[in-house]
Amino acid sequence: MHQFKESTRNRIIFYFAILFILFIILSLKLVWIQVINSAEYQHQALDQRVREFIVNSERGIIYDNTGRKLAVSLPAKTVVALPDNIIDPKKTAAELADLLELDYQTIYRRLTSDASAIFLQRKINDKLYQQIADLNLKGITFTEENKRYYPEGELASHIIGFTGIDNNGLNGLELSYNNYLQGKSGKIVVERDASGKTIPDGIREAVPGRDGYNVYLTIDEVIQFMAEKELEKAADEFDISGGSVIVMDSENGDILALANTPTYDPNKFSDFTEKSWRNRAISDLFEPGSTFKIITTASALEEGAVTENDVFTDPGYIIVGDQKINCWKLWGHGVETFAEVVKNSCNPGFVEVGLKMGKASFYSYIKAFGFGEKTGIRLPAEAAGIIPAYNKVSDVELATFSFGHGLSVTPIQLVTAVSAVANGGKLMRPRLVKEVETGAGKKNIVNKSQVVRRVISEKTAAKTQQLLKQVVASGTGTKAAIPGYQIGGKTGTAKHYNEDIYDSSFIGIVPADQRKLVVLIVLYDVAGHTYYGSQTAAPLFKDLTKNILGYLNVKPDYKHEFTYQSNLSSQIIPDLKGLSFLDAESKLRAANFNVKIIGNGKIVTDQLPVSGTEAVYDSTVWLFDQAHSVQNILIAVPDFRNKSASTARNLAARKGLQVKTTGQGKVVGQSVYPGKRVPAQTIIRLKLR
């Protein structure tokens, strides 16, 4: 009996010990759950009974400068599958496959996934939504999102760009201003019961979102439409790969139109090639050709290396180093003033000007006008252009720069640089966005016009404009002329290396009441017999500009038609040797000569042309100090043939050369071939008969 009691007692102690151990384990587990790891379990419990709904923000509207909508957001349905509620996934997948244009297996795999909800197709059109809704499929529902819509289709597509399926900007201003346009999504948190229904008095929390900011552009929808229509016309009329048009208000840098062809519809951008999305006006490089002569002209006038009355000679070419650079006119333009060099678009004349400026000076002006660097227009993929490194620029490169070859620029760089000539000398930063509207009670973000730097004086800008007006009035740009309007401009034609295709262009300065517009037309890869800028781009410029002026209600003025006036009266250059530079310059200025000083010395030791030369009013006299020889200046030899001895002698003196004649009558031969560059004061022997 005692043994039985002892055994029972041991079993009780054993079971009690087990229960005690279990109690300790459960207690520790409860401490772990309720104390140590309570936050995690609370979060899991909350997740089971709380549902979070994302409230999409609405993307901001993009307006033109008159308030017309260029990009808006519209409600669109998204097809959502709830796999747990689908009764027959095979049948449902089969019915949706054709409508959604998706593979059956792809849909079936989504319908049978472990997800509680899954997107089948986002932002469908109203017709497709109605077709799916009419099927009344169990487990198929819809949610509403915002879809980007471009009311004008292809209009300004390269400026505006487009968004992806998640409403994030992928191109154009939609990308570069995405942080302003996209807004911030909000959310609503609700508590549900075991059946998934919302508990009326359960937890509710709303985190407000923020709609995107509206953006106001400088673009004028009407002018943009006109620009795109002209490019369409060019594509039909000429054999080209594409083209660009930019219209800029030179006073503030506002872009009123920026168009390219080919174009695309941002509402269905995926239907177009990526090449069509490319904004060639800011991304593509081209040789500006003769349009760059505007920059050469303004730089040379500002530097004082030349005036409109300086004499030039063009036998049809000029020789620089071992290169023969031809003029477009086979027999050349003969003797001409610099004003006529500009009007005639004479390459040898511009080569002389570029070389007279010198490498350091000319290169610095090219950079000052903004070439070789991005303009900062704030559009994706802007190119910086290509300007050869300074240490790789020889006289030949410098010569070709002067007429727009050997360097590559973007259309936006060229129109920005010429706008500095149009507005009195200020290089402006191009502006596409005028203002960002940040909502009620907040201060709007204003994108003020910005002066990058002053590159030339107002006087130089005004003189350059006058020279450009004569180009349109009676020079190579007459096909751009519009009666009643004083337009200045320049054609450009640049041949591709080793290819028989061209880039043709025209850029013009257009007075429009209190402001001056700069309009650029560029046609890329022009093939066929009609390729000169004067034949292709200039007529397009005329038609576009006429429409713009009519739209802006700028009336023609037939009473004050432009006529270029020059003073070609002659006078004798005085002897300046031995004078101080200050006295010599004062004496020349008083006699209405332009002065170019070479050196930093105090006393004039030589001059060009020499004293006693009969020179034209406001022509340039070069003064040298002891450290700089006049013979370091190279002069292009004129074609003296068929000239009298006196005429040849005077021309040589004005150019800075000397002649010795034999015989009588007209010049029939000369010791140095025309167009060759020789040191100043070189004696040229002429044979007369």
DSSP state of 680: T
Asked if 456 contacts 366 with a C-beta cutoff of 8 angstroms, the reply is no
DSSP state of 198: B
DSSP state string for 610-657: PTT-EEETT-EEEEE-TTS-GGGSEEEPP--TT-BHHHHHHHHHHHT-
Counted residue by residue, the chain has a size of 689
DSSP state of 677: E
- H helices of 278-378, where? 280-283, 293-303, 338-344, 347-357, 359-368
Distances from the Cα of 557 to the Cα of 147, 257, 533, 553, angstroms: 49, 25, 27, 12
Spell out the long-range contacts of 553-562 with Cβ–Cβ below 8 A and sequence spacing 24 or more. 554/485, 554/511, 554/512, 554/513, 555/484, 556/482, 556/483, 556/484, 556/485, 557/484, 557/485, 558/483, 558/484, 560/486, 561/483, 561/484, 561/486, 562/469, 562/470, 562/473, 562/486
SS3 177: coil
Distance of CA 445 to the CA centre of its chain: 23
Q: Please provide residue 18's backbone torsions phi and psi, each rounded to the nearest 5 degrees.
A: -65, -45
Distance of CA 371 to the CA centre of its chain: 11
Query: Is residue 437 packed enough to be buried (19+ CB in 10 Å), middle (13-18) or exposed (0-12)?
Result: middle
Distances from the Cα of 498 to the Cα of 516, 532, 648, angstroms: 38, 18, 40
Tokens 């790789």 identify what position? 392
Measured CA to CA, the distance from residue 661 to residue 667 in angstroms comes to 9
Q: Which of 431, 395, 109, 118 is nearest to 248 (CA)?
A: 431
Measured CA to CA, the distance from residue 9 to residue 313 in angstroms comes to 132
DSSP state string for 579-622: SBHHHHHHHHHHTT-EEEEESS-SB--EEESPTT-EEETT-EEE
Q: What is the 3-state secondary structure (H, E, C) of 65-119?
A: CCCCEEEEEEEEEEEEECHHHCCCHHHHHHHHHHHHCCCHHHHHHHHCCCCCCEE
CA angle 423, 426, 428 (to 5 degrees): 95
Catalytic-residue membership of 644: no
SS3 574: coil
Distance of CA 303 to the CA centre of its chain: 27
Measured CA to CA, the distance from residue 686 to residue 684 in angstroms comes to 6
Helices (H) and strands (E) in the chain, counts: 21, 33
Measured CA to CA, the distance from residue 194 to residue 622 in angstroms comes to 98
SS3 313: strand
Catalytic entry in 250, 290, 408, 619: 290
Q: Which of 351, 328, 356, 365 is nearest to 400 (CA)?
A: 351
Q: Report, as residue numbers or ranges, the catalytic residues.
A: 290
